[in-house]
Structure formats: C-alpha cells, structure tokens
C-alpha cells in the first residue's frame, strides 16, 4: 500500500462522489422523509428504526419488505431452495435496503449492486439447471471493508490506501462464493481498526440506527448498523478486542466471535505491521437471529477452508445434540472494580442470571480476584501497543488528520496503574514481546485452573460496561478483550433495553475507574446484551449453550 501525493481532501471528495453515484436514483430516499430527521445526524437523537423509513420510503415493494423483515436466515434459505423466492428478488431487496441504510447511517464503503444482481441471475439459472451451488445458495452476505474482493478497494479507512484495487479475493470471500452466497457490499470501519467508533475521513461515521447520537460500535460498526437496519441477513466482521461483539451490543444484533483461525481470516488489508499478531483476530458473523450464527459457521467450516487459507485450522465442525434435559453450570463474570457496569447492564445481567437459574441450571458467582479482568486489560494493551508506528504511518502518508476516537487513544489501560504487568520498557521489543507472552500464558493457565475448579460449562458475562454510548467515548473494552486474550469463543445476544424509567438513576464513574457516564434520557431504548463464553476450540459448545440461554432470555 503506497503513499499518495495529491491533496487528501480532493481524493476523498472524488471517492465520495463515486460512491454516491453507485446508488441508483430510484433508490434515493425522498426529501420529504429526510426533512423528518434532525441534522447533523450524529449530534441529534434520531431514532431511525422507530421511523420505519425503509417501508415508508416507497423504494421497497411490499414483497421486498417481507423478504428483508419477515424471515430468519434459515427461512430465507428454505424459501430460496423451494423456489418461493428467487435469488434475484432476494438480492435486489437487500441491495435496496442496504442503499437506504447507507443514506441514513453511513454504514457502507464499497458497493457493487450490479455485480450482485448479475450473480443472483446466474444462481437462479444454476438452480433451474439442477445445479445449486451450496448451503448458502442465493443468500446475500455483507463483509467488513478489510476483506478483499478482486477489482475493488480495501482502503480500511486510510486515504493512502485509496486507488489500489485488490488483485485477489480473501480466502473467506472465495469460501462464501463457493457456498452460493451473493456478495453486494462492504462495510464501514474505524480509522486504524482499533477503536469502537467506526469513523474515518473517507466514509464518515457509521451511526447507530437505534439512536444516531450513540455509537454503532467498532471496528465492525458498519456491519452492526447495516444488520440492525435489516440491510443484510448476515454480516461478516472481525474481532481482536471485541470488534464483532461491540457493534452487536451497540446495535442490538447477535454476534459470534469464534476461536481464532476456525473461520479463515487470511488475505485481508491490515493497518499494522504485517505478520505481527500478538493476539490473533477472529472472523465471524453478525445477524438478527441466533440460528444464523451456526448456519454461517457450519457452512464455512464444512467447506474445509484450510484448503484455501493456510492460517485456517483444519478442524471439522462438530454437530452436537441439542441440550434438552441437561443441567448446565454457569460461572457469572463479576464486574471489575476498575470497570463498573452501567445500571441497565447490571440490571440485565442480574435478570438473566435469575431466569437461567429458574430453569434449573447451576450458577456460580465467580470472584473478582480469580477472574482478574483488569489483568487482561493490561496484557492486551501492552501487546497491542508494541508496534504503534505502522498504523499511524498510513495517516502521515496522505497527510490526513486522525479522527477524534483515534486521538483519544492516548491513555493506557487501568489508567496505567499496573498490578500484573511489570515494567518491561528496559527490554528491546523482541524480549518485551517474549516477556508479555509469558505473562499471558500465566494468565491463561490461571483461567484453566479456575474453569476446572468450578467445573464450568460456560461463562455468563456482560458484553461491555455499557450499551452504545455517545460518539468517541466508548474507551477500553474490558469484557470483550478478556476473551481475546484467552482465545475463548463467545456469543453476544440482545437482552433487554436501557430504560429511563427503570434505570432512572444517573451514574458517574469514580476517580480511578474507567468508563463513561450514564444519562438515563440519552441512553433510553439502547439495546443491552449478554455474553456467553466457553473454552478455546469449544465453538460448537458455545453455540449449543448459547441457544439454551437465548431460548430462556428471548422467548417468542
């Protein structure tokens, strides 16, 4: 990815003009509806989902509204297989809905609707010829911007990356195409990919459709916003500190972070030092229904992705029997004193635990001294910041300024008051990395002992201290990055919403604590989520157990 010499604002203006031209005029939201919104959108609490703009815009037919709103992923696939829906009409419906979402919440980067519609026609012909492609035949799937699709850009929010077209598909792209999926758009991300605000100078800020004054999460924030707008049945994100789960919790979707390397991650555009992976990221799905998570994971892993990606584990998907009468044993992750929970999050976690226990499952309330979330924060921060220059160097190459959330990344985890990580700064980078790796192994060994001592099946945890928060204030993600340090698979599922009536007391972190303030009026209606985790490589178990939890918490 080379540097550029032209004025960065001129290059951005040209890119934005081209992006806007790719939305057909017939798919533009009427001015009469735009007038209902308060601008700037990100400074005002526009509750986009409540306004029901996709249905009211006149852009979607009644059948297209039905396709995008009234089906789970399993139902879409069933109707595509039976011929009740054609690939063409499903692809067209989701392309239209994605275009609507883009105009409201800035969730997209690259759009290739024409190619998607041509692909859908080919799939319909293949089906007519008795040659359906695979388990995802005809299903539209959106992907985070870092995945490379031949002939398109993968700028990941850097002006200096614009103009370079991908020469080959990322392996996961080829896997999904081989399974019959229809790819039609890529989604917005943060500059550097390392903040919870999906904001950059090229594509702007992805907004939360529940409340545009709150963040959509990051770094897969465009996916979270698009899926919440029902502009995608399944969105593919990536997660190295919470980047699938944070957008899921902010936007009220389901999200699954697998064990690293089970879903192929290779061949992406990256912001940092190539080859340096102190914590290995995961790729995984975001969706509006729970079953979609397993449908995606099974379809991808059953394709033997290691044949296309040498970084992917060659481990088949195990189909487990449904949990029916088994009594599960859950450990409840306590709030760390340095990272207190907002009132809606604390309430939802307590309610979830009571509901799970009422169904006969065992609950073990773990102790802060044994879970040590703050120690995981120290570890992850020091690992992530071992090579800070590469990501920032891409900004200098174009002369573009950092966005506010990147500028805010100056404070260390735990306010720099470390208790677990000694001062390794006297070491050279190689020996510092080795020393941090030793501490990480010590931490994961302690968690192994914790798990065995309590005989746990899974962990129930908050997904974050908070719900979605005002832009550029999310901060460090203790309750997601914990499971990246451990490389545990985890699922985030929506449960409850913040309520100015129920959660009526404001909350302010005390000196020495991290986090944002809770303001009941501002946060009212924001989705709240619960996180479920199991040990490494128990991805099938976390899906199976999460299905039980979801059935308890989100009964129809």
Is the Cβ–Cβ distance between 219 and 498 less than 8 Å?
A: no
Q: What is the pTM of this model?
A: 0.97
Q: Considering only CA atoms, which of 333, 295, 300, 293 is closest in space to residue 314?
A: 300
Helices (H) and strands (E) in the chain, counts: 21, 13
Q: Which has the minimum average pLDDT: 62-66, 124-128, 425-429?
A: 425-429
The pLDDT value recorded for residue 16 is: 98
Name the one residue in this structure whose structure tokens are 């102190």. 278
* Alpha-carbon span 66 to 358, nearest angstrom: 36
Q: Would you say residue 117 has pLDDT above 70?
A: yes
Residue 409 pLDDT level (bands cut at 50, 70, 90): confident
Q: Would you say residue 3 has pLDDT above 50?
A: no
Residue % of the chain over a pLDDT of 90: 95
- pLDDT tens-digit series, residues 81-101: 999 999 999 999 999 999 999
- pLDDT tens-digit series, residues 156-194: 999 999 999 999 999 999 999 999 999 999 999 999 999
Q: Would you say residue 4 has pLDDT above 70?
A: no
Q: Which is catalytic among the residues 15, 96, 127, 144?
A: 144
* Alpha-carbon span 16 to 10, nearest angstrom: 10
The pLDDT value recorded for residue 146 is: 98
Dig out the tokens for 394 from the structure.
């891409």
Higher-confidence residue of 2 and 152: namely: 152
Q: Which is catalytic among the residues 57, 198, 243, 546?
A: 243
Q: Which is catalytic among the residues 155, 160, 219, 490?
A: 219
The pLDDT value recorded for residue 410 is: 67
Q: What angle do CA 508, 48, 38 make, to 5 degrees?
A: 80
Residues in the chain: 556
The pLDDT value recorded for residue 556 is: 56
- pLDDT tens-digit series, residues 268-294: 999 989 999 999 999 999 999 999 999
Is-catalytic flag, 70?
A: no
Residue 391 pLDDT level (bands cut at 50, 70, 90): confident
Q: What angle do CA 364, 367, 370 make, to 5 degrees?
A: 115
Helices within 266-332 (DSSP H only): 291-302
The pLDDT value recorded for residue 65 is: 98
Known binding site for substrate: residues? 193, 219, 240-243
Query: What contacts 24+ positions apart, CB below 8 Å, involve 26-32?
Result: 26/59, 27/59, 27/96, 27/99, 27/100, 28/103, 29/53, 29/57, 29/59, 29/100, 29/103, 29/104, 30/57, 30/58
Residue 345 pLDDT level (bands cut at 50, 70, 90): very high
**Beta strand residue intervals within 326-443, DSSP E:** 329-332, 362-365
The pLDDT value recorded for residue 6 is: 65
Is-catalytic flag, 144?
A: yes
Known binding site: residues? 193, 219, 240-243
Mean pLDDT of the chain: 96
Q: Would you say residue 453 has pLDDT above 70?
A: yes
Is-catalytic flag, 219?
A: yes
């Amino acid at each position: 990815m080379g540097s550029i010499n032209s004025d960065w604002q001129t290059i951005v203006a040209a890119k934005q003009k081209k992006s806007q031209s790719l939305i057909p005029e017939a798919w533009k939201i009427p001015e009469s509806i735009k007038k209902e919104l308060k601008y700037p959108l990100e400074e005002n609490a526009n509750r986009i989902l409540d306004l029901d703009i996709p249905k009211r815009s006149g852009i979607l037919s009644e059948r297209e509204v039905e396709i995008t709103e009234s089906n789970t992923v399993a139902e879409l696939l069933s109707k595509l297989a039976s011929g009740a829906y054609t690939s063409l009409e499903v692809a067209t419906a989701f392309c239209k809905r994605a275009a609507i979402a883009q105009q409201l919440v800035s969730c997209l980067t690259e759009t290739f609707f024409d190619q998607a519609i041509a692909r859908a026609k080919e799939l319909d012909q293949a089906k007519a010829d008795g040659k359906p492609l695979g388990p995802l035949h005809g299903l539209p799937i959106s992907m985070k911007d870092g995945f490379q699709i031949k002939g398109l850009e993968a700028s990941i929010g850097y002006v200096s990356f614009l103009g370079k077209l991908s020469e080959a598909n990322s392996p996961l792209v080829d896997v999904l195409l081989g399974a019959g999926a229809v790819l039609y758009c890529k989604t917005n991300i943060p500059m550097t990919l390392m903040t919870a605000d999906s904001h950059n100078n090229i594509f702007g800020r992805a907004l939360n459709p529940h409340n545009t004054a709150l963040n959509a999460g990051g770094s897969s924030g465009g996916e979270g916003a698009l899926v919440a707008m029902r502009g995608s049945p399944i969105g593919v994100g990536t997660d190295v500190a919470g980047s699938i789960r944070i957008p899921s919790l902010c936007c009220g979707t389901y999200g699954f972070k697998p064990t690293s390397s089970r879903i192929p991650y290779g061949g992406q555009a990256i912001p940092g030092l190539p080859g340096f992976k102190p914590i290995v990221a995961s790729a995984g799905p975001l969706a509006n229904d729970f079953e979609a998570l397993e449908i995606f994971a099974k379809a991808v892993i059953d394709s033997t992705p290691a044949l296309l990606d040498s970084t992917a584990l060659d481990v088949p998907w195990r189909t487990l029997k449904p949990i029916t009468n088994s009594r599960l044993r859950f450990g409840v992750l306590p709030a760390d004193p340095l990272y207190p929970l907002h009132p809606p999050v604390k309430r939802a976690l307590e309610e979830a635990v009571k509901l799970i226990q009422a169904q006969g499952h065992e609950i073990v309330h773990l102790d802060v001294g044994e879970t040590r979330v703050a120690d995981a924060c120290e570890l992850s921060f020091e690992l992530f910041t071992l090579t800070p220059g590469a990501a920032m160097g891409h900004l200098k190459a174009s002369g573009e300024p950092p966005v506010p959330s990147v500028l805010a990344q100056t404070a260390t985890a735990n306010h720099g008051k470390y208790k677990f990580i000694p001062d390794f700064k006297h070491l050279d980078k190689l020996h510092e990395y080795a020393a941090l790796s030793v501490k990480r192994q010590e931490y994961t060994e302690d968690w192994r002992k914790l798990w065995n001592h309590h005989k746990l099946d899974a962990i129930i945890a908050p997904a974050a201290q908070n719900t979605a928060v005002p832009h550029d204030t999310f901060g460090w993600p203790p309750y997601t990055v914990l499971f990246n340090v451990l490389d545990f698979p985890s699922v985030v599922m929506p449960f409850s919403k913040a309520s100015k009536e129920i959660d009526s007391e404001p909350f302010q972190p005390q000196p020495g604590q991290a986090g944002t303030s809770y303001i009941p009026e501002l946060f009212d209606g924001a989705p709240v989520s619960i996180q479920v985790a199991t040990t490494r490589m128990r991805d099938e178990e976390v899906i199976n157990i999460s299905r039980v939890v979801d059935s308890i918490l989100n009964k129809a």
